[in-house]
A and B are shown apart, each in its own frame.
Chain A
Amino acid sequence: MKSRMKLRNICSAFVIAAMLFTLPTVTASADEPREVTSPCVKVAEEGSGYVYDSVTMGTGIFGNFIPGTAPTETDNGCSLVFDVVFKVDPETKELYSDILEDWYWEDESTLVMKMKDNIYFSNGENATAEDLLYTYSSHADRGSAYVTEVKINYDKTEIRDDYTLAMNFDAFYSGFYAYKMYLIDKSWSESVGWDSLEWLQPVGSGPYAVTEYVMDDHITFTARDDYWNKDENPVKIREWYMKYYADSATMAMDMELGNIAMCAFTAVDYERFLKEGGDGYDVYAGPSGCCYIFQFGFLENDCWYDKRVREAFSYGIPWEEFGAVTLGTSYRPTHGFVPETSPEYIDVGGYTYDVEKAKELLKEAGYDESNPLKLHTVMMDVSFYSKTCEAFEYYCSQMGVEFTYDLKDIPACVMDWNTLGGGCELGWNFNNLGSTTQQFVQSMTFAGSDAGAKWCFVDDDEFVELYNAASAETDEEKRIELSKKAQQRLYDECLAIPYSECSYAVAYRTDVFTLDQLIKGVMCNDYYNLTNISLASNWE
């Protein structure tokens, strides 16, 4: 009896303790207003010249600062430490440069770039035309992912004086201006070599310097007192503290708590939960300058050379529904291969969903129930592709098409993409780097040759001619005209199907930044130009 009483008392005590323990959880619901202290920011002292002494942001990408070593390039940091050769104004979409006084085409193949003479790197060295040339040639030498499309003829390229470079092209690439070319100090780079750990705290001409780098933890960037462009482009944030997160959901939660001032959402799922905004934070979803385009892997499956088969997929898949299902809140319907805001935009027309018509077309092409069309592809094992493949499998089954797919990790997948016979008979192309210039050739990468991912190549002679001509055209008006023709050709011959504009999402603390500052600062994707955000002109 006594032991039973004792046990009952213990149980009661346990229940009461549990209730007390959970009471704060129950009462503190997400709807209740909570005081936001935003520990991600330290406000600067008056008279210091800064608005914020320190701002913490979140990132899921860490690497060195060697430009062009994607996917490890810490782009967000590069924009603080280095000056970029060409930039695009996010509002006017016009090209400009902080480091060039002027640039012009001397003839069809020679671009003359005149540098300012007062650019200095953080080690005190004056930046010259030699450094500018090295900025481009080092990519070619290293075989980096950049500048493979643009064919610079280095033998004919001249350094005319200390600050004038005449760059000669065998074939110009109109996406040249959109490359994020960070000005590198040639002598320093050559002295340390590409393998050096000094690239974790590199010499650059940008307004910030890396003062601390802790692998997989954080990087600290501090404004330079000796920044050469301080008077023209003063910055209002003294220090950026870039915090690393291995898990994007954890990063988003920390943003919600106010421990970081901004972060990108590359995972579509989590962005949905913060779409409504909340206590002190909001989500900005902006266009990245490219589109999602469904492409037929001509080189991998001969069936695509039959226009009826391509038409079947144009009409047999409800592309608007497909976009909504696979992209969720990121879906931005389009009938173009570039965003609507692009000067190269053309509404090529859409396809009306008609699955019976699709079946008829397939039957005419020789595919029916007794001989179904079988397709296979290999995509990356990431949320976007797994959803897309799953949805595509369903819609294919409605048409009587047997679609199978493999999801592999990035290195294995890219190997299959780049190999003939790799099994990628179709795919969904989008430029994950985005495009500040919103050009068609950047939206449909590798479409004009089989040099890259094989399934991206559009094997149509007329299209390839138009694409490569647009790519090499230096005159903007002519380029726009050629791009539009190429896009119309794609639609008329059902060579590729666009279904959504690409977008990216950035979550930010509304008590730290205004939306206007964010838009001015963000480039085109989750690679922000943090220097732009920091500029004094954005804080007036």
Chain B
Amino acid sequence: MAKYVLKRILLLIPVLLGVLIVVFTITYLTPGDPVVTILGTGYTPEKYVAKAAELGLDKSYLEQLWNYIWHIFTRLDFGKSYITNVPVATELATRVVVTAKIAIITIIIDVLVGVPCGIIASTKQYSAWDYGFTSFALLSSAIPSFVIAPVFQVIFCVKLRWFPLAGLAGVSSYVLPIAVNALGGIALITRMTRSSMLETIRQDYIRTAKAKGMGRREVVRKHALKNALIPVITVTGSSFALMMGGALVVEMIFTIPGLGTYLYNGITNRDYPIINGSVILAATIVCIMSIVVDITYTVVDPRLKTQFVSKKSGNRRKKLAQAGDGHV
């Protein structure tokens, strides 16, 4: 298992390199010029040339790419913002904490609310509970966050004055952004849990467990739930990774200085260091989350551990088992 994890971590390097090259190339080819953004509309050609040289943008594509890759891998230097001159690494380190706080709490709420709702909907299929939860899930998925967020602001901030409108000063300021973010996730996890549970509770071993006299709750908890959780874990992991990329709409509306707004400002200003740095960070998080999800699978379903066992040790264990040592 440890070897597998190490292997996956080492595989991150070529993956991130590939992401870096693709993103760098796309931003390089995208219309729009950061020099023009900085200088405005009234610059002279001489000033343009001087500014481009200052930013290193007068070099060839390959030269720029090589310099960028070299600085990242040797010094973790993502460069400085063309606009603010603040090192990108410094800003990313601050903002990832902000986004992580919101993402982690959102995921916890998604799981704590979504999974039980899904279980109830599946065990009481076609009941009012089932219809209620599936309708809620459908509605939450259908209404986009850029609609929900301002509506929440008007109701809870302007009319009721329960929460602050923007910023992250105090615990109460986290409530609405997390609520808006969580709605979509709850809907997704509810539906995923419900469909997965419905499939599982129809299995023979569940019928056997019931026939043996096990209580309904015990059957769900001990047998059905674990088997139904695999797709839920997958969805949860990818949701978290997406959220860590920055829930842009929520961050803009609630003025949260997270990764989403940072990347958005970078894109609109053609601030290449910010764009490249943010995307690499997001790609890293996605890769790490996929490793975490794989490890979590084995916790839920120990049978899956065998996929992490190497062929050699797998054969050795087989032979020992055949020899009657009792190893599996």
**A148: which B residues are within 8 A, CB to CB?**
42-44
How many angstroms between the C-alpha atoms of A148 and B43 in the bound complex? 7
CB of B91 within 8 Å of the partner chain: yes
CB of A70 within 8 Å of the partner chain: yes
Which segment of B45-53, B238-246, B300-308 sits at the interface?
Answer: B45-53
**B37: which A residues are within 8 A, CB to CB?**
71, 410-411, 414
Does A409 contact B44, Cβ atoms closer than 8 Å? no
Contact mask B255-269 → A, CB, 8 Å, 1/0? 101000110010011
Which segment of A242-250, A359-367, A496-504 sits at the interface?
Answer: A242-250
A247, A253, A415: most-surrounded residue (chain B CB, <10 A): A247
If A250-B166, A253-B157 touch, whether A149 touches B261 (CB-CB below 8 Å) is no
If A72-B84, A412-B31 touch, whether A143 touches B51 (CB-CB below 8 Å) is yes
Does A451 contact B44, Cβ atoms closer than 8 Å? yes
Contact mask A120-164 → B, CB, 8 Å, 1/0? 000000000000000000000011110011000000000000000
CB of B311 within 8 Å of the partner chain: no
Does A215 contact B91, Cβ atoms closer than 8 Å? yes
| Closest B residue, CB atoms, query A66 | B85
CB of A257 within 8 Å of the partner chain: yes
CB of A259 within 8 Å of the partner chain: yes
Contact mask B153-169 → A, CB, 8 Å, 1/0? 11101111100111110
How many angstroms between the C-alpha atoms of A72 and B266 in the bound complex? 13
**B257: which A residues are within 8 A, CB to CB?**
214-217
How many angstroms between the C-alpha atoms of A492 and B268 in the bound complex? 41
Q: Which of A145, A215, A250, A411 contacts B253 (CB 8 A)?
A: A250
**B261: which A residues are within 8 A, CB to CB?**
216, 246
Does A215 contact B86, Cβ atoms closer than 8 Å? yes
**A251: which B residues are within 8 A, CB to CB?**
166
Does A418 contact B84, Cβ atoms closer than 8 Å? no
Contact mask A407-422 → B, CB, 8 Å, 1/0? 0111110110110000
Q: Which of A70, A214, A412 contacts B40 (CB 8 A)?
A: A70
**B51: which A residues are within 8 A, CB to CB?**
143
**B268: which A residues are within 8 A, CB to CB?**
409-411
A145, A194, A251: most-surrounded residue (chain B CB, <10 A): A145
| Closest B residue, CB atoms, query A70 | B40
| Closest A residue, CB atoms, query B85 | A195
Does A25 contact B42, Cβ atoms closer than 8 Å? no
Contact mask B77-89 → A, CB, 8 Å, 1/0? 0001001111000
Does A143 contact B43, Cβ atoms closer than 8 Å? yes
How many angstroms between the C-alpha atoms of A145 and B154 in the bound complex? 40
Chain A contact patch, size range? 35 or more
CB of A515 within 8 Å of the partner chain: no
CB of A333 within 8 Å of the partner chain: no
CB of B133 within 8 Å of the partner chain: no
Does B42 contact A452, Cβ atoms closer than 8 Å? yes
| Closest B residue, CB atoms, query A68 | B40
**B36: which A residues are within 8 A, CB to CB?**
411, 414-415, 418
**A199: which B residues are within 8 A, CB to CB?**
85
CB of A254 within 8 Å of the partner chain: yes
**A254: which B residues are within 8 A, CB to CB?**
165-166
CB of A256 within 8 Å of the partner chain: yes
Does B157 contact A25, Cβ atoms closer than 8 Å? no
Does A246 contact B40, Cβ atoms closer than 8 Å? no
Q: Which of B46, B86, B254 contacts A197 (CB 8 A)?
A: B86
Does A257 contact B42, Cβ atoms closer than 8 Å? no
How many angstroms between the C-alpha atoms of A199 and B84 in the bound complex? 9
**A24: which B residues are within 8 A, CB to CB?**
159-160
Q: Which of B34, B40, B168, B252 contacts A247 (CB 8 A)?
A: B252
**B252: which A residues are within 8 A, CB to CB?**
246-247
B272 to chain A, nearest CB (A): 11
CB of A92 within 8 Å of the partner chain: no
Contact mask A442-458 → B, CB, 8 Å, 1/0? 00011000011100000
How many angstroms between the C-alpha atoms of A450 and B4 in the bound complex? 63
How many angstroms between the C-alpha atoms of A7 and B168 in the bound complex? 41
Could you tell me which residues of chain B, from 24 to 67, have a CB within 8 Å of some CB in chain A?
30-34, 36-44, 46-48, 50-51
Does B153 contact A149, Cβ atoms closer than 8 Å? no
| Closest B residue, CB atoms, query A146 | B42
**A411: which B residues are within 8 A, CB to CB?**
32-34, 36-37, 268-270
CB of B150 within 8 Å of the partner chain: yes
If A253-B165, A412-B31 touch, whether A143 touches B255 (CB-CB below 8 Å) is no
How many angstroms between the C-alpha atoms of A246 and B51 in the bound complex? 28
CB of A64 within 8 Å of the partner chain: yes
Binding site for B on A (CB under 8 A): 7, 11, 24-25, 28, 63-64, 69-72, 142-145, 148-149, 194-197, 199-200, 214-218, 243-247, 249-251, 253-254, 256-257, 259, 408-412, 414-415, 417-418, 445-446, 451-453
Closest CB pairs A-B (n = 5)? A143-B47, A145-B40, A411-B32, A412-B32, A148-B42
Binding site for A on B (CB under 8 A): 30-34, 36-44, 46-48, 50-51, 80, 83-86, 91, 94, 128, 150, 153-155, 157-161, 164-168, 251-255, 257, 261-262, 265, 268-270
Show 28 A/B contacts (Cβ-Cβ < 8 Å), sorted by A.
A24-B160, A25-B155, A28-B159, A28-B160, A63-B83, A71-B37, A72-B269, A142-B47, A214-B257, A215-B91, A216-B257, A217-B167, A218-B167, A243-B167, A244-B255, A246-B253, A247-B166, A247-B252, A249-B150, A250-B255, A253-B157, A253-B165, A411-B34, A412-B30, A415-B32, A451-B42, A452-B42, A453-B41
